[in-house]
A and B are shown apart, each in its own frame.
Chain A
C-alpha cells in the first residue's frame, strides 16, 4: 500500500541523503518534489502546503544544518513529521467501564461501513468479547441482510428490526437489548450518507445522542481524493467522531486521505481494513506506517503478525538451533510453512526494511508456486539429507530432482541458498539485528543497493 508515494519520497530522500552538505536551494528542490509526491498521492492541497512549510522550517533549522550528516537528519525529520501528520503513536478505542461499549459507525455510501462493522466485530471476538451488531441502515436495499450474513460469519449477534422501523428507534432498542443480554460490545451500523444531506446528518446526530456511544468511528475509503477533508469536517461536526477506520487499503491507493484526515480534524486513524476476508482488519499504527512509506519497513507489525501465528515455544527452540548452528532444512520447511500461514508473501515483504526499494520484489507478483516447488524439493529429501544438505551429491541430487519434478540445478540452487541463509540467520540470532536506520543507511549514500537473490 502507498507504493507510489513511498517510491517518490524515497527517491527524493536518497538524493538528499547522498549529500554531505545541504544548501537552502537543495532543501527547496527536495520540498518541491515532496510537495508534488504528496499531491499525486491525494494529500489535501492545504495540508500539503502547511506540511511542506513546517518541514522546510525544520530542515533549515540548526539541528540539520549544523549536523555532520544533514541528509540523514532530513530523513529523520520527514519520518517524524509524516508520523505526526498521521497521528503520532497509535491511540486506543475508548472502552466502557461497565455495560456494553457502544461503537457508532458512520460514513459516506460505499466507504465500507457494513463490512467494517463485521470486521470490527470479528476483531473483538478474537479478544473473547461478546459482540452485538445493530442494523440501522434501513435505506439501502438488502443492507440488513448483508449485516446479518457478515455478522453471523464474525460470530456476533445481529439485532435487526427490518427496514420499516426508524433508525434512531432501532439503535436505542438495540442498546437496551445489549444491556439486557450483557454484551461486551455493541456496534451500530448506519446508512451511508452524504455529509451535506442535512436530514440524514441530523438523524446521525440523533442516534448519537440517544445511544451516547463510547466511540464514534468514521469509515473512510483510502482511495478518496481531495474531498476527504470536507467530508471529515462535516462528520466531525454532526457526529463528533473520535477516530477513523481506513478501508480498501489493499488497493494501490496512495494514502492521501489517511494523511489528510488526521491533519484537519485532529482525529486519529484507529483501524485499517486491508482485504476481502473478514480477518483483514487491524490496528493502524501511524508511526509504523510512516516508516513504511519511507521504506524503513514495519518490523513491529511483522513481529506482531508472527506472534499470532507462531507459538512461543517452537520459536525459542528455533532461536537455540540458530545460535548453535543446528538449523536444518527440516526446520526451514517448518518455518516456511509457518510464514506462509501469515498470508501471501508479497504482503509480508512490504513490512521488511528496504524491501520497498527492491523493484524486482515489489513488482513481482510473488509466485507462490515457486514456494510449492521449494517445499517439494525438501520433501523429496531423506531425513539425513535434510539434516545435512552437504551430503547431497550426484545421484542423490538426481533422485531429489526426479522426486520433486524439478531440475538438478534447482536442487543445487536451494542447497546453496540455504547455506547463505544459515550464515545470515546465525548472526541475527546472536542479536545482530540491523536497525531500520542502519538498513536505510545501507541502501543510501550512493552505496550499491542490495541485490536480491533470485530463486
Chain B
C-alpha cells in the first residue's frame, strides 16, 4: 500500500542498490535516475563497491580452524557452566620437584589413587627428560617439521593408535616447529615442539594408556610442566616455568585435543 507518487528519497536509492524495491517503486526510481545522472553514477559506484567488498571479504578466513568446529564445541557445551577442564581440577595435586634430586609430591585436596599419581609423575618425568634433550637441539629439534604438518599429524596418529590433533597455539605466540616420535614404557609417545617470539621452546608430550583423570603442575628450577590426563590421553606441556601460562596452554591443548568424537574410534 505504498504511495507510488511519493518523492524518491535516499532510502529508495539505497534499496535500489540492494535490489529491494517493489517492481512498481523500482520503475519510479529508474525514471528518477534517468533524469539525475549524477545520482545514477553515485549509485553505480555503491553497487560496484558492494560487489567488490563481497569478493574481498570472501577471500578471507580460510578453512575453519579446529576450535570453531561444531563437533568439539558440542563436547564442551555439554558441560556448560562447568567446563570439563575445570572439572578435572577437582582432583588437583601439586608436585614440587625437590632440588636435591628427589621428587617431592604435595597433594592438595587430591582424591587420587596412588597409581594415578605415580603414573602422572612418571609421565611428567619422561616429558621433561624429552624436553631437556630436544629443546636445546639446534640442528635437529624435530623429525618432521611444521611445513609437513598434515603428514606429521597422520604419522603420529598412526603410531599412537589414536587421532592426534596438533594444537594451534598461535594465541600464545607459539609457532609449531614440528614433532617427533619417542619410546616410552607405555608404547610410542609424541612430542610436538613450539617456539615463542623470543625463541623459548615449549613442548607438548602426548601418550596413551594413562589412567584416571587428573591435572597437575610441576616445576623444577626454570622448567615448568603442566600435565593433564583424561580419556586415556596423557599430555604434558613443558616450557619455561610460568604456572599461569603453562596452565592456560594446557587448557587450550586439552580443548583442541579432546573434542567430542576424538575418543571414539570411528572419527569422521
A binds B: no
A residues contacting B by CB (< 8 A) are none
B residues contacting A by CB (< 8 A) are none
